[in-house]
């Protein structure tokens, strides 16, 4: 059994740390799944890396599982389990450097990726009412989901595509696109969202990447602290 007030405090702190990380691991995995599912809707527009979302999911699962055993080891005061926890947490904290580097690299390249892929996709937009090609359908979904219109604003359509030279825009700039809707275009004065999709998508991707970089760094540093507590507790039981 753990002896002394200091060791009891360490036990409580270690349990609290790991309980928080059990919840955080589940939340991180959920965020990764959400991003992976959402990115599938826009695969025809921009080649978002599935590996990034998968890394987030696996990281969340690893944090959840390891932290769960950390909670169990702290409660049971199992020296063997605590030493194993200390070792695996140390390895995990070091391995978290890999996804952080990947996200930093992609964060730097995101401007070039959007400049090339997103603009190309918008130039391929065609009105094929009542059916649209996959790129056009993905752009309609993007415009409605992100409350944006055009590559850099509603006037982009008339300036770049002859189909909209009559000062119109795709209907998805004005109303929600549905399979049963036969409306293909709407007037500029009917547009609800004047922000360009390049700006909105860029903000979303950068926010996701910056949040994940910060979260992974915080998790890595905190896990190292938790590993130190686990080593102290393991030597005391």
CA–CA separation, 202 and 140 (whole Å) = 17
Q: Which of 26, 7, 102, 64 is nearest to 223 (CA)?
A: 64
Mean pLDDT, the chain, whole residue set: 78
Read off the pLDDT band of 77 (50, 70, 90): low
pLDDT tens-digit map of 194-228: 899 988 888 888 888 888 888 888 878 877 777 77
Instruction: Write out the two tokens for 83.
Output: 């030493």
pTM: 0.66
pLDDT tens-digit map of 162-177: 889 888 999 889 887 7
CA 118, 124, 128 angle in degrees (round to 5)?
A: 130
Span 8-23, average pLDDT: 74
Residue spans per domain, the chain: 5-109+205-236, 114-197
């Amino acid at each position: 059994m753990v002896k002394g007030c200091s060791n009891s405090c360490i036990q409580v702190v270690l349990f609290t740390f790991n309980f928080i990380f059990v919840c955080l691991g589940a939340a991180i995995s959920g965020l990764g799944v959400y991003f992976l599912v959402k990115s599938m809707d826009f695969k025809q527009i921009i080649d978002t890396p599935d590996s990034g979302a998968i890394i987030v999911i696996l990281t969340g699962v690893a944090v959840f599982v390891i932290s769960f055993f950390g909670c169990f080891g702290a409660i049971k005061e199992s020296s063997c389990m605590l030493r194993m926890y200390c070792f695996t947490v140390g390895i995990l904290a070091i391995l978290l450097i890999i996804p952080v580097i990947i996200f930093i690299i992609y964060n730097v390249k995101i401007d070039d990726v959007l400049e090339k892929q997103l603009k190309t996709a918008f130039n391929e937009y065609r009105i094929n009412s009542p059916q649209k090609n996959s790129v056009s359908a993905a752009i309609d979904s993007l415009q409605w989901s992100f409350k944006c219109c055009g590559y850099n604003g509603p006037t982009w359509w008339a300036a770049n595509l002859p189909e909209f030279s009559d000062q119109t825009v795709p209907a998805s700039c004005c109303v929600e696109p549905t399979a049963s809707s036969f409306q293909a275009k709407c007037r500029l004065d009917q547009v609800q969202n004047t922000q360009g999709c390049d700006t909105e998508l860029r903000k979303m991707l950068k926010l996701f990447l910056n949040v994940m970089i910060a979260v992974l760094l915080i998790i890595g540093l905190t896990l190292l602290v938790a590993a130190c507590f686990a080593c102290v507790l393991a030597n005391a039981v």
